[in-house]
Structures are given as structure tokens and as C-alpha cells.
Chains A and B, each alone.
Chain A
Amino acid sequence: MPTLEHYLILSAILFSIGTAGVFVRRNLITILLSIEIMLNAVNLTFVAFGHALGNVDGQIIVFFVMTVAAAEAAVGLAIVIALFRHRASLNPEAFTVLKW
């Protein structure tokens, strides 16, 4: 049987991949996908702890995380569409007007 540590290590690996994706990639869509990887790594931690502690609270928090992820994806993709309409690019380097 895999123990709690197995799940936590896997979750840490997935979270690191997601973090690396946010910093390494230069494509807004891929950055949003990396954020989803991170959210899912956290979900795995919640479910693993809920299983280890024997209650359902972990699964309920995952339910809320999924709701927030859906809202984030909807708003984030709407922003991506609006940005793409202005610059015809998905490269974050193209959007530096607010940067000084």
C-alpha cells in the first residue's frame, strides 16, 4: 500500500513542475496550464491527508479548489483573448505597458 509520504512526494514533484512551467515558459496559455498543474498537486495533498486522517474535509476543500480553478480559468482565458485581440501575441514579453 502506498503511504502518505508517497502521495506527498508525488504532489511535491507535480507542484515543482508547475512552478517551473510558470517561470520557464513564454506562452500565456502554457502558464495558465502550469497553474492548473499546481492546483492539482495541492488537491492531491488534500485528498491524501483526508484519507490519512479519516475524514471528508479534504475532499470538500478539493471541491472548492475546483470551483476556484473553474472561475480562474474562465477569467484568465477571457483576459488572454482580450490581450490576443490587441497584440496578436501570446508572449508575455509583448505586454509590458504597465512595466517600468
Chain B
Amino acid sequence: MLLFYLFALVAVVASLLVVAQRNPVYSVLLLIASFGALSGLYVLLDAPFVAVTQIIVYAGAIMVLFLFVVMLLNAPHEDTEEDIERLRTLTGSSARLTAGPMVFGAVLAAAFAVELLWALSRGPLSISPGSEAGASVAQIGRVLFTEYKFAFEVTSILILVAMLGAVVLAQRERGPSTRRAGDE
């Protein structure tokens, strides 16, 4: 019960700060902290598979993508009129990444390592017949590849389309041959 309130508090406070924070780098890092707390809640719910996936896929892959874009765009603050002006003059300078986010990120990474070990050591990851939770990875795999096999295959197409879409949308326009209608 104490762990539940601890994780719930971290999740709610971190999410509130994500919305209240003006620097997107901190927003992303705080959201990663919030996902870590949610991952702890999944362990409490006897779902070690979801907990580990949450850390590896969500915090590890999706949020790093966000962080990458935030740093790439070099637009650390909320855009007001003055900010847009200042941004134009500042274009080319590196993002003001001070020691703060780095230390925060290092602490987060250490906390995630501990949490992953906890998640993996808590529930047995092999199948355990007759378990009330029925949450073992083997059982998830069995249901996923039988009952939900069509949805699983459609998901792979979704990922492929998203990948192509991201490449097409984000590519730089090169010369008149690749120009699309509506470009200035």
C-alpha cells in the first residue's frame, strides 16, 4: 500500500510538472519519471511484462525520440512573439543543455536499472500453472499469437506505414523535382 501511494504520488506530481514546465527538455525527462512510476504500479499489479515493456519501449525508445527532436529543434522555451524573434537570432547556437538535465537523466537511468531488476525478480517470468494473476509472459505470448494474431499482424503494417510516413514527412525538400504543391 505504501508503494502504491509512493508511485502514485510520483506519477501525479511528475505529470503535473510536465504540463507546468516551460522547458521541453525537463518536460520530457519528467514524463520519463512519470512512466517509471507507472511501471512500478504495473509490477504491483502482477504485470511484469508490461512493466518491463513500459521502461524499455516507452521510456527507452519513444521518449528518447521526443528528447532527440526537442534538442534537434533547439526551441527550449514556450514560443511567445519575443521568443520567436530571439529564436531567429539564436539559430545555429547549441541548445542550452546545462548540467541539470544531465544529472536528472543519470539519476533516472539508475532508478530504472533498479526498477527493472525489481520487476524481473518479483514475478516468475516462466509459466506458473494455476496462478491467480495468470500474468506470466508465456501466457501473454500464447494469447497474443492465437486469439490476437490478426491484430498483431495488422500492427506490423501500422508500424511500417508509420515509418514510411515519418521518413516522407521529415525529409528535406531537394530541388524542384521533389517539390510538392503548396511549398513557398
Which residues on A are within 8 Å of B, measured CB to CB?
Answer: 1-2, 6-7, 10, 13-14, 17-18, 20-21, 24-27, 29-30, 32-34, 36-37, 40, 43-44, 47-48, 50-51, 54-57, 59-60, 62-64, 66-75, 77-82, 84-86, 88-91, 94
- For chain B residues 60-119, which have a beta carbon within 8 Å of chain A? 61-62, 65-66, 69-70, 72-73, 75, 78-80, 84, 87-88, 91
B120 on the A face (CB < 8 A): no
Which residues on B are within 8 Å of A, measured CB to CB?
Answer: 1, 4, 8, 11-12, 15-16, 18-19, 21, 24, 27-28, 31, 34-35, 38, 41-42, 44-47, 49-50, 53-54, 57-58, 61-62, 65-66, 69-70, 72-73, 75, 78-80, 84, 87-88, 91, 132-135, 139-140, 143-144, 148, 151, 155, 158-159, 161-163, 165-167, 169-170, 172, 184
- Assuming A40-B35, A54-B134, A81-B72, is B50 touching A64 (CB within 8 A)? no
Sample 13 A-B pairs with CB under 8 A, ordered by A number: A17-B12, A20-B19, A29-B27, A29-B73, A30-B21, A33-B24, A37-B15, A63-B50, A63-B144, A71-B158, A78-B167, A80-B73, A91-B78
Contact B31 A36 (CB under 8 A): yes
A71 to B160 CA separation, bound complex (whole angstroms): 9
Contact A40 B140 (CB under 8 A): no
Contact A17 B50 (CB under 8 A): no
Choose one: B24, B38, B75, B184; the contact of A43 (CB below 8 Å).
B38
Kindly list chain B residues whose C-beta atoms are within 8 Å of the C-beta of A63. Answer: 50, 53, 140, 144
Tell me, rounded to whole Å, the shortest Cβ–Cβ distance linking B50 to chain A: 5
Kindly list chain B residues whose C-beta atoms are within 8 Å of the C-beta of A14. Answer: 11-12, 15
A66 to B162 CA separation, bound complex (whole angstroms): 14
Kindly list chain B residues whose C-beta atoms are within 8 Å of the C-beta of A77. Answer: 65-66, 69, 166, 170
Kindly list chain B residues whose C-beta atoms are within 8 Å of the C-beta of A24. Answer: 19
Contact B34 A37 (CB under 8 A): yes
- Write the chain B residue with the least CB distance to A70: B62
Tell me, rounded to whole Å, the shortest Cβ–Cβ distance linking A91 to chain B: 4
Choose one: A2, A7, A13, A48; the contact of B1 (CB below 8 Å).
A2
Contact A36 B62 (CB under 8 A): yes
Tell me, rounded to whole Å, the shortest Cβ–Cβ distance linking B13 to chain A: 10
Contact B18 A34 (CB under 8 A): yes
Contact A10 B8 (CB under 8 A): yes
